[in-house]
Chain A
């Protein structure tokens, strides 16, 4: 292998320069503020987890995990998401705390990219998990919070798309009669390949009326009118229970006043397959995919505390680009002093710092990089202090 250049980094990771870092902090602070106002408390989980527990529970495909060995030979992973670690915390460290529990986080997650060109392996995310409470109100709460958070960041236009995984499973099973077919069709929907889905449907060995129903599934995309259409479409009780749940969520979202930003797409499938109920994605500004989340009812049970839960993760790296806002600019001042004016310069610097300015000191013989500062002030000697 050729010798690495000293500035090289592993593929998919990157440094953030000061201005981007400042924007990231600003995004996280605004997000944090929203989460806190809605009663979510922050937790921090470790970057390393065991592969056998959290790694395996986190539905990110195994080949996308960064794995390493500890000194005992146990396989560790760099956390591929935050939801599984938080499920572990809720079931252990916070095992005695009452449910429902509202938690949030800011953190980096790692996913190895199979095809590496220009794709990231480390992502910054902020998100919430609402554990416990099976009601549509709780599902709607995180959707409403997602909308509020994006609005707080000035994202416009802004569109959340909501689907329902159990409803989709039930409908596909009703029409195809085999869970193997359900998997194949979901795979195509999940990779957003409508052409493959239509082809697979046409090749299924089922009556044409069922094929027609499977094709119609793609048209259940819009606001509440899709519910009525859907109810005429199926007799499957599980699917109807799902649509009833969505109907109730819609009514809660109207009361939250965020319904105008939400639409439904009953063929929506997430890439993580631990979702069991609603699944949603958020898009905004000039073409950014900004968040995803949903309901996961079986994950907590893996850690011994069986509760429904839902949450979402914001893609911080994209919010940094998509949000038109940014941190308030702080005036940067260079103070130039001589040996004789040093004490006075230091006093003046401290005073300016209490006023919220950023102050850097230079000795008179130093070269001051003017372009870095809004003002350069030469501190004059004023009488002799000694």
Chain B
């Protein structure tokens, strides 16, 4: 058996992980099926395929890849837009589709001194800058929907998938900023130095993504 070039993949803990793993399996990589998402392990080795997986926070995936401790990574476009890391964005995996939107209370009216709360301060300020709106962006790490209800902010910029969370908190979606799916990213140097192996994985995943798309 020819020895494969070893690769390290940074994978986001949580929802995206399972879906990404499924794609890798369908692309022909022999990754074990019994991993549970709630495993406490931070690294997983697959010696047969010369693969190591790093289980990290979604927001940190591009950081691991940019600094080269991971060759590849799977991450939502929301994180890529927010972090603006220097990486190759190779493939849209079309998993975990959602959107980033502006939301607020239904009786919301514009006034001076607008405040916007978000987990994505960079995306939020870029968006309002492009709209020519002057806003103060408040960075929150979670429960963003709470902000308009208690008067911390007038609007929020957040991930929306079904819109249920917004609804349950009495908020409505005002504007869609962009659609989001998960992407396969690569470190700049790895992309060149491990080109053969990476191209093989990209080709496999491209095929699987196209098939999945046809089924939808």
Residue positions of A touching B, CB distance < 8 A: 115, 157, 159, 161, 192-196, 198-199, 221, 263, 281, 283-284, 286-289
Nearest neighbor of B192 in chain A, beta-carbon distance: A283
Report B137 CB to chain A, min CB distance, Å: 14
Report B78 CB to chain A, min CB distance, Å: 14
Within 8 A of A (CB), among B28-75: 68, 71
Tell whether A287 pairs with B68 under 8 Å between CB atoms, given A192-B188, A195-B92, A195-B183.
yes
Tell whether A195 pairs with B89 under 8 Å between CB atoms, given A115-B84, A286-B68, A287-B68.
yes
Tell whether A289 pairs with B89 under 8 Å between CB atoms, given A115-B84, A159-B193.
no
A194 to B192, CA, bound (A): 15
Residues of B within 8 A of A221 (CB): 195
Residues of A within 8 A of B122 (CB): 115
Nearest neighbor of A219 in chain B, beta-carbon distance: B199
Residue positions of B touching A, CB distance < 8 A: 68, 71, 84, 86-92, 122, 183, 187-190, 192-193, 195
Residues of A within 8 A of B87 (CB): 192
Report A329 CB to chain B, min CB distance, Å: 29
A157 to B189, CA, bound (A): 11
Residues of B within 8 A of A196 (CB): 89
Could you show 29 A-B contacts with beta carbons less than 8 Å apart? A115-B84, A115-B122, A159-B192, A159-B193, A192-B87, A192-B89, A192-B188, A193-B88, A194-B88, A194-B89, A195-B91, A195-B92, A195-B183, A196-B89, A198-B92, A221-B195, A263-B195, A283-B188, A283-B189, A283-B193, A284-B189, A284-B193, A286-B68, A287-B71, A287-B189, A287-B193, A288-B189, A289-B188, A289-B189
Residues of A within 8 A of B89 (CB): 192-196
- A287 contacts B92, C-beta separation under 8 Å: no
A192-B89, A287-B193 are known contacts; what are 6 more A-B pairs with Cβ within 8 Å? A192-B87, A193-B88, A193-B89, A194-B91, A195-B89, A287-B187
Report A166 CB to chain B, min CB distance, Å: 22
Residues of A within 8 A of B188 (CB): 192, 283, 289
Residues of A within 8 A of B192 (CB): 159, 161, 281, 283
Report B140 CB to chain A, min CB distance, Å: 19
Report A23 CB to chain B, min CB distance, Å: 19
Report A121 CB to chain B, min CB distance, Å: 15
A149 to B192, CA, bound (A): 19
The 9 residue pairs across chains A and B that have the minimum distance between CB atoms: A287-B68, A287-B189, A192-B88, A193-B89, A283-B189, A283-B192, A195-B92, A159-B192, A195-B89
Report A368 CB to chain B, min CB distance, Å: 41
- B190 contacts A287, C-beta separation under 8 Å: yes
Residues of A within 8 A of B190 (CB): 287
Residues of B within 8 A of A199 (CB): 92
- A195 contacts B193, C-beta separation under 8 Å: no
A281 to B183, CA, bound (A): 24
Tell whether A195 pairs with B90 under 8 Å between CB atoms, given A159-B193, A284-B193, A287-B187.
yes
Report B212 CB to chain A, min CB distance, Å: 16
A246 to B22, CA, bound (A): 42
A269 to B144, CA, bound (A): 39
A289 to B187, CA, bound (A): 10
Residues of B within 8 A of A287 (CB): 68, 71, 187, 189-190, 193
Residues of B within 8 A of A289 (CB): 188-189
A166 to B174, CA, bound (A): 44
- B193 contacts A157, C-beta separation under 8 Å: yes
Report B179 CB to chain A, min CB distance, Å: 10
Report A226 CB to chain B, min CB distance, Å: 13
Q: Which of A196, A283, A288: most chain B CB closer than 10 A?
A: A283
Report B189 CB to chain A, min CB distance, Å: 4
Report A293 CB to chain B, min CB distance, Å: 15
Residues of A within 8 A of B88 (CB): 192-194
A199 to B116, CA, bound (A): 30
Residues of A within 8 A of B183 (CB): 195
Residues of B within 8 A of A161 (CB): 192
Nearest neighbor of B202 in chain A, beta-carbon distance: A194
Tell whether A194 pairs with B90 under 8 Å between CB atoms, given A283-B188, A286-B68, A287-B187.
yes
Nearest neighbor of B70 in chain A, beta-carbon distance: A287
Report B99 CB to chain A, min CB distance, Å: 15
Report A320 CB to chain B, min CB distance, Å: 16
Report A215 CB to chain B, min CB distance, Å: 12
Nearest neighbor of B71 in chain A, beta-carbon distance: A287
Residues of B within 8 A of A159 (CB): 192-193
Q: Which of A193, A199, A286: most chain B CB closer than 10 A?
A: A193
A221 to B195, CA, bound (A): 10
Nearest neighbor of B184 in chain A, beta-carbon distance: A195
Residues of B within 8 A of A286 (CB): 68
Q: Which of A115, A193, A195: most chain B CB closer than 10 A?
A: A195
Residues of B within 8 A of A283 (CB): 188-189, 192-193
Residues of B within 8 A of A284 (CB): 189, 193
A161 to B191, CA, bound (A): 11
A342 to B158, CA, bound (A): 75
Residues of B within 8 A of A281 (CB): 192
A372 to B195, CA, bound (A): 45
Residues of A within 8 A of B84 (CB): 115
Residues of B within 8 A of A263 (CB): 195
